[in-house]
Every structure is written in C-alpha cells, then in structure tokens.
Amino acid sequence: MPVLYFGTEAQRQKYLPKLGTGEIKAAYCLTEPGSGSDSLSARTKATLSEDGTYYLLEGQKMWITNAGFADLFTVFAQVDGNKFTAFLVDATLDNIRLGNEEDKMGIKGSSTRQVFFEGVKVPVENLLGEIGKGHKIAFNVLNIGRYKLGLMVCGGAKRACEMTVKYANERIQFKLPISKFGAIKYKLAEQATRIWVLESMNYRIAGLLNDKIEQCKADGKNDIQAKLIAAEEYAIECSISKVFGSEVLDYVVDECVQVHGGNGFSEEYNAARAYRDARINRIFEGTNEINRLLTFDMLMRRAMSGQIDIMTPAMAVQKDLMSIPDFGGDDDDDILAADKKAIREAKKAILMVAGAAVQKYMQKIEKEQEIIMNLADMLIDVFTAESAILRTDKLIALRGVEACSDYIDMTKIYTSEAMERIQLSGKHAVCAFTEEGDEQRMMLMGIRRYTKYPAYNAVAARRRIAQRLIDANDYAF
C-alpha cells in the first residue's frame, strides 16, 4: 500500500509486480518500544550522508508482521531529529538484524519479530514520499488498513458463528441438542444479528468510498489520488469499521467458546484458537480506544475548519427541546418507519450532547476522554443501526417484505437495543459535564425523548433468527 499510493513511478515498477505475485513480501515498520499509539514520537533516525547518496538508518522496530521473511521494509524514521519520514528498505542490505519470533497469545501463524537497523545505508532514491511527510503515509495506510480489518473480522465472525451452530446442533444434553434451548438460541441469534449489521456497515462504507473515488476521477484526479482522497474523506467511517468489527468478532468468539462449554477451553477444538486469534484485532491498526478518540477528534477538526457545521444544528436541537414533542409523522406502510425515526431522533441526542460538551470545554474537550468515549459510542451505534436500516430498506424494495422477514427482525433487534445504549452513553456524558439542576434535568429529558423506540418483542425475533441458523446448520445470511 505505501508503495502503491506514495511511491515514485520507478519504485512502483521495481516493487509492485513482485509484491503482486508474491515473489517478494513486505513488512510495515512503524511501532517502536517507546512509540505505539503515539507513532510520531518514533526515535529511529535517518541521517543523510555527506555525499548525499544515502541515509544512515539507526533504530529499533517491534511487533513487525512478516518480519521473519519480508524482502522489503517500509520504515518510518526521524530525519534531522524531527522530520517524520518513510523509507523503502531492502532486507538484503547490511546491518539489519531480526529479533526472535514473538511468543504470541494468538495469530501464531504470523511471523512477528523485532527489527534492528544498526547503521543501514539506504539509497536516497528509496526515500518514500516527502521528507517530514511520513505521517501522511502512516495515517492514510492505517485508514485503509482499518477498513480492511473491518472486512476481515466479518469473515472470521461468520466462521466462528458456523462453528457455534454446528456444535450446538451436535451437543446433546438432557436428551436434546442444546440448540433447542432458549439461552443458546439467544446467543446464536445475537451472533448473527451483530455480524449482519457489521456486514451492512461494510457494504455502506464500500459504496461511500467507491462513489468518492468515481467523483474524484470525474474531477480529473488519477486513480491513486482518487483513492487517497476517498480514504481521507471517510477516515471516521474506517475507524468505526475497525472498532465495531473487532468487538463484534470478540463477542462472537467468546460466545462460541461458551456454547462449546469445557470443550471450548480445550485446544483440541477450534473455538480456543478463534478466541485467541480474535483478541489482537482490538489492538493493532490503532487500539479501539485510540480509534474512538480519533472518531470524535476528526469530527471536531472538520467542524473547526468549517468543513462541516455541527453547532448550528446543535443549537437547533436545543431549541427543539423547548417545543412540544411530535409523536406523529410515521409512514404506516413502511415497516421500518419507527427505525428510521429512531435514527433521526438519536442524531439529535448526539448533537445536543456534543454541542453542550464542546460549548463547555472548547479546545480542552480533548482532555475529557471519558466524555469523548461516550460520544464515540453514540456515533457508532447510530452509524451501524442506520447502515442496517438502509440495507434492509433496499432489500425490501428488491424482494418485498415477506422475503426479508429475517433482515427486518435483525434490524429491529439491533436498532431497539442501540437506542438503549445511546441513551445510557448520553446520560453518562451529560452527568460528567453538568451539575445537578435545571440544565442537567433538561438534557437528560432530551436524551430520553430522542432515544425512544416502540415496545418490541426481541425474544420472539431472536428465536426466529436462531431457528434459521439451526435449520441451515451454518451462518445463514
């Protein structure tokens, strides 16, 4: 990815064909012992030689995937002490030393080692991008990586769900397959619902990225420029995909182990491996905590720069709070009318809470991480629920309501509970930055008002979803 998006034509011609065929392999060297999430504080340094023909690279990288067999390293280093810059480093160069293979909790099939650069002479033509602009490479590649991770974990979750269903159908207790029991049906249905919502979100982001790429091409950008612009435009959505996807997978593999019972704790079954392998996804490509903070930070930066207007609709929501609630307006012919209305109202809750928090703290809001985490969770719940609604709406238009009953069930299960989570996250945030009194009471009332959802029998819906899985003996959606 770094070569494709930021390399010179000569670098692309040299490396991409062989990387494409697998003749050579690449590794991405960003993390150091003292710089993980704070990647710009890297201490690896690159010093230009007196004759200007090479950079002398010195430093240490860790947690480097593919390190044991990589032919090409993308290495980030400081030029002149403070110019964060990227280099393409051939593994055949002298003075590159590898540490031992890490004994990891999971993903044991992946080579992960430290890489030491002990006076490596890197030709100047292997400078990647511009001096001091390495952050653009690092962050754009991470944006794309986060979206790819959201896709990857969706596939893993489907596989784990399949394992869970098959075992539940095979395991006999009290003379019945355990898939007959309501407590197990809940787990199966919840696995499927979260996976389906994740997949819906991933389709949505793919469409957004694709549309932006085509728009940029129409405006005269080349293919690579268009993709970079799209990745930056939808960086927030890519972070949401990474966070939500990794946590969906964690839920699915955890319940996979639980349904397997004692066998799930045994390495003789694949449930244990799935559980171990899944855990890394909440850490790499930026921890989920960092990505939650980034989601809000990127939104605020765009607001501050005038790219988007948050304060005007936030003020409108505050005025709306003083009005009489409108409980009408639903389309009786639209089976998703209540869900669509719930999303519209939930967005008001986010605007109200975010607007009030920013008004209070201004630039210092970045220090209030707990409030930012609450707001990020509200954003994630709205975006994921809306993605499910949009997908189901399209499927209904194509196939009709009756053929989409399972999708409607999953959408309503998820949206109804998303509203409850949004209300709780909003409540926690408001109580953190307001004192007891009229302002707090008004805001809490507003959150309750904006997160209403009609009474819904989620138990019956989950039983229907679970039965579909049980009958198929597989992930069925």
Q: Which residues are catalytic?
A: 285
| DSSP code of residue 325 | P
| DSSP code of residue 121 | E
- Helix (H/G/I), strand (E/B), else coil: 175: coil
β-strands 83-90, 26-29 pairing? unpaired
Output the 3-class SS for 353-382: HHHHHHHHHHHHHHHCHHHHHHHHHHHHHH
Q: How far apart are CA 146 and CA 366, in angstroms?
A: 22
Measured CA distances, 146 to 282, 335, 448 (Å)? 11, 34, 33
Residue pair 74/27 in contact (Cβ under 8 Å)? The answer is yes
Length of the chain: 477
Mark 223-234 as b/e (b = at least 16 C-beta within 10 Å): eeebbbbbbebb
Residue pair 425/352 in contact (Cβ under 8 Å)? The answer is no
Q: List the one residue out of 93, 114, 92, 95 whose CA is nearest residue 103.
A: 114
Instruction: State which H helix or E strand residue 207 sits in.
Output: helix 182-218
Dihedral sign from CA coordinates of 120, 121, 124, 125: negative
Q: How far apart are CA 475 and CA 466, in angstroms?
A: 10
- Tokens 């400078």 sit at which residue? 127
Q: Within 13 A of 257's CA, how many CA atoms are on the CB side? A: 15
Q: Strands (DSSP E) along 126-280, which ranges?
A: 127-128, 172-173, 176-177
Q: How far apart are CA 210 and CA 204, in angstroms?
A: 10
Q: How far apart are CA 190 and CA 255, in angstroms?
A: 10
